[in-house]
A = this chain, B = another copy of it.
Amino acid sequence: MLSKKTKYAFHALTFLGKQPNNIPVVISEIANRTKLPKKFLETILLDLKKSGILGSKMGKGGGYYLIKQTKDISLAEIIRMFNGPIALLPCASLNYYEPCEECEDEAQCGLNKMLLKVREETLKILVNKTLFDIISAEE
A7 and B111 in contact (CB under 8 A), knowing A1-B85, A2-B89? yes
**Does A125 reach chain B (CB closer than 8 Å)?**
yes
Binds B, one of A44-52, A55-63, A131-139: A131-139
Copies in the complex: 2
The 6 nearest A-B residue pairs measured at CB: A110-B137, A110-B138, A35-B102, A110-B134, A113-B137, A2-B88
Jot down 29 A-B pairs with beta carbons below 8 A, ordered by A. A1-B84, A1-B87, A1-B88, A1-B89, A1-B90, A7-B100, A7-B111, A11-B111, A14-B111, A34-B102, A35-B101, A35-B102, A36-B102, A75-B114, A79-B88, A108-B138, A108-B139, A109-B138, A110-B133, A110-B136, A110-B137, A113-B137, A114-B133, A114-B137, A117-B129, A118-B126, A118-B129, A121-B125, A122-B122
